[in-house]
C-alpha cells in the first residue's frame, strides 16, 4: 500500500486504472466538534425518517384520483303566496336543472312575473319604439317592445319562500378510481343495503358512512345560517377527500366530508351577492296567444368537489430517498473536515 501524492501522468494512466483511493481518516478528540457532528447527524436522520418517510411518505409511488358523482335530492314543501297561491313543491319544482355536472341547485326564493305577453309597455331600456308613455302619474318614459308587464326585481321577499328546503336531503353517489393501482371504491360501502339508505342520515359522530345529507346540516357545518343564505342564494362546496395509504387494508381508505361556502360574501365587495338566474314557463291561451310566467329563481347551488391522492410502497422512490439520506450523511464528514482545517485543528 502506497500513499499517492499526485495525479496520474499521461505515461502511467493504465496503472491508475487499477488503483483504488480512500480518504484519510483522522480521529479528533474534541467535545465541541464531536457534539456538533452528532447533532448534525441526528438532524439529518430526524428529517429523513420523520419528515421524508413519515410525513411525506416519499417511499411511495402516488396516483391522483379519477372520480364521478351523481346526486338525488328528496323532500317536499308547502307555500301560500299571492302570486302562486297555495301549492306543494316537490323535487321536480325546486331542483333546477334535475341533473348537473357534479352539482345540484335547490330553489329557495323567487320573484314571479305572471301572464307576460309579447307587447309594448313603458320602460327605459330594451327595444324602443320611439313613442313616449306614462310610466306613472309623474314620470314619462319610452315605449318598448318586450314581454309585458316587465319584471320588477327589487321586491325580493325578506324571508325565503321555500322555508322547508332546509330539511330536504340529498343522496350523493361517488365512485373513485386510482388507475395506476387498479383500485376502485364507492362512498356507498359494500355492506350497505337499500333499507339502510331509506332511514340513514349523515352524522359525523353517529353515522359518518351514510351518503345522505340534510341540506341544513351541510350549511351549518360551513358556519352559515340556512334561512339567511336562502334569501339571496349562494354557492356551497361539498368537499370529498379521498387521500389514501394503500399499504394499509382497503377498508382504511374512505371519504372524508367537509363543507365550505364558495361565493363571495365580503361586505366591502358585495356587488350582486348570492346566486340567481331566470327561467320561464310558457303557455297558450284559448285563442292561441302565447303567454309566459317569468321566474327569477334564488337558491343554493351545491358543488361536489372530489380530490385525493393515493400512495403505495415502491422500491424506486425508496432507493432514491435512502441514497439521498446517505449522501447527506457523507456531507457531514466533509463539512467537519473543512471546519477542522479552517480552525487549525490539524
Specify binding-site residues for ATP.
72-74, 169, 276-278, 296
Using a CB cutoff of 8 Å and minimum separation of 24, what contacts does 327-331 make?
328/44, 328/48, 329/41, 329/44, 329/45
Is 33 within 8 Å of 336 (Cβ atoms)? yes
The SS3 call for residue 333 is helix
Name the grid cell of 159.
Answer: 324571508
Phi, psi of 266 (to 5 degrees): -75, 125
Is 213 within 8 Å of 169 (Cβ atoms)? yes
Name the grid cell of 314.
Answer: 415502491
Residues that constitute the known binding site: 72-74, 169, 276-278, 296
Is 121 within 8 Å of 143 (Cβ atoms)? yes
CA-closest candidate to residue 238, choices 98, 103, 75: 103
The SS3 call for residue 128 is strand
Amino acid at each position: 500500500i502506497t500513499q499517492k501524492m499526485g495525479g496520474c501522468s499521461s505515461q502511467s494512466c493504465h496503472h491508475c486504472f487499477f488503483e483504488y483511493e480512500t480518504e484519510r481518516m483522522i480521529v479528533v478528540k474534541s467535545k465541541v466538534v464531536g457534539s456538533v457532528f452528532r447533532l448534525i447527524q441526528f438532524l439529518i436522520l430526524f428529517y429523513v425518517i420523520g419528515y421524508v418517510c413519515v410525513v411525506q411518505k416519499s417511499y411511495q409511488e402516488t396516483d391522483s384520483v379519477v372520480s364521478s358523482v351523481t346526486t338525488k335530492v328528496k323532500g317536499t314543501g308547502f307555500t301560500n303566496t299571492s302570486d302562486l297561491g297555495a301549492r306543494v313543491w316537490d323535487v321536480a319544482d325546486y331542483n333546477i336543472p334535475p341533473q348537473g355536472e357534479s352539482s345540484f341547485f335547490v330553489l329557495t326564493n323567487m320573484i314571479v312575473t305572471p301572464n307576460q305577453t309579447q307587447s309594448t309597455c313603458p320602460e327605459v331600456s330594451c327595444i324602443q319604439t320611439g313613442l313616449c308613455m306614462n310610466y306613472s302619474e309623474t314620470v314619462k318614459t319610452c315605449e318598448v317592445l318586450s314581454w309585458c308587464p316587465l319584471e320588477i326585481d327589487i321586491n325580493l321577499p325578506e324571508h325565503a319562500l321555500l322555508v322547508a328546503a332546509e330539511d330536504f336531503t340529498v343522496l350523493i353517489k361517488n365512485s373513485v378510481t386510482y388507475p395506476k393501482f387498479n383500485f376502485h371504491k364507492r362512498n356507498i360501502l359494500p355492506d350497505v343495503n337499500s333499507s339502510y339508505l331509506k332511514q340513514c342520515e349523515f352524522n359525523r359522530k353517529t353515522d359518518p358512512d351514510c351518503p345522505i345529507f340534510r341540506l341544513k346540516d351541510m350549511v351549518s357545518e360551513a358556519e352559515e345560517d340556512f334561512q339567511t343564505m336562502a334569501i339571496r342564494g349562494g354557492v356551497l362546496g361539498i368537499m370529498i377527500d379521498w387521500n389514501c395509504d394503500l399499504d394499509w387494508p382497503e377498508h382504511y381508505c374512505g371519504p372524508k366530508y367537509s363543507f365550505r361556502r364558495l361565493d363571495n360574501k365580503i361586505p366591502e365587495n358585495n356587488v350582486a351577492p348570492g346566486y340567481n338566474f331566470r327561467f320561464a314557463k310558457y303557455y297558450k291561451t284559448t285563442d292561441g296567444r302565447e303567454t309566459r310566467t317569468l321566474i327569477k329563481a334564488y337558491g343554493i347551488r351545491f358543488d361536489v368537489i372530489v380530490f385525493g391522492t393515493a400512495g403505495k410502497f415502491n422500491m424506486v422512490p425508496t432507493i432514491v430517498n435512502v441514497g439521498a439520506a446517505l449522501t447527506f450523511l457523507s456531507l457531514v464528514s466533509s463539512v467537519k473536515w473543512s471546519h477542522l482545517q479552517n480552525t487549525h485543528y490539524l
